[in-house]
Amino acid sequence: MVAPHIRAQSKTAPEFHGEIIGHGEFRYRVDKLWSKADPAKTPVKDCHEMVQASDGRLFMITNHKQNNVLIYDKSGALLGSWTLGFSGGHGLTIHREASGTEFLYATDTSGRVVKATLDGKVVLELPNPSKTGIYKPTEPYSPTETAVGPNGDIYVADGYGSQYVLRFDKDGKFISKFGGKSTQPTNPGKFMQAHGIALDTRGEEPLLVCTERIRNEFNWFTLEGQHVRGVYLPGAYVSRPVIHGKHLFSGVCFGAKPNDYRMWQGQGFVTILNDTGKVVSNPGGRVPEYENGQLKVMLQDKHVFNNCHDVCVDAAGDLYVCQWASGNVYPYKLERI
């Protein structure tokens, strides 16, 4: 049955608005009209990432210098916005400290990583490794994502730069780095594009899970940077990992060409993995299939999305999909059914 609000908007609704996508227990109704933001007042270029605070508010980072962060409620109403002046606003992580106070960690691909209050006050900026001797002069720095460890250590994925994961203490002092650039098809522990990073606490010991976008992989590391395991997702050029409950969610920014499986922009979808690394649903993509224990190439099914850069999972299990290079669209909501 189509929801009443979907039916009322059907005459003017965009394609696939109101459709059901996904597989198994993870099926969703598409709401392309969720965002009530006014493009004339709060324009966006790319909607890069979104997180939810404990009070239910949703914070989204964009690369529009006028408003790097947009704040929504779950109905799609815009509650406010603020800017850090980032020209490359990209990664956004939320962390609740022992005191109960929540902070946002934002990355600017031009070379900045800051910790800020929920109203945009910067309380810490991490040192730029290219300017402080952490990197060699020839090594570029273009950070894409952060994760915060159990003790407050901050991990930065240099996904558009030199492909390291850098570790700082809670006060911003550099501790160590691991990874580095790889040009090999298989090279555990090094990256072609370390696009995203998250803390995974689903096991006995907390681990870091890192995106290897170009190789269609997620890889797990100890908090000291030792490679533990990986999972290969053929055809899926994944964005950052998002841990929610027992599952890992990710936006597939680019799909694959059906004939040779090379990267194909504009063919994104969402993928969902269980705690054993098995894909259980691909909203917007084809049903995941395994043959002799191996995952078959995953492809877009319906063109609901262009380039899914991130997925936020709210407390109710609904999803919000942010897109890159997709016509300046605001996030779509996927209501779980």
Asked if 159 contacts 194 with a C-beta cutoff of 8 angstroms, the reply is: yes
Residue by residue, DSSP assigns 229-269 as EEEE-TT-EE---EEETTEEEEEEEEEE-TTT--EETT--E
The pLDDT assigned to 183 comes to 82
Which residue type, as a one-letter code, is found at position 53? A
> Tens digit of pLDDT for each residue in 205-232?
999 999 999 999 999 999 999 999 999 9
The pLDDT assigned to 261 comes to 83
The pLDDT assigned to 117 comes to 98
Residues lower than pLDDT 70 in the chain:
1-11
Task: Report pTM.
Answer: 0.95
160 HSE (CA, 13 A, CB side) = 15
The pLDDT assigned to 11 comes to 53
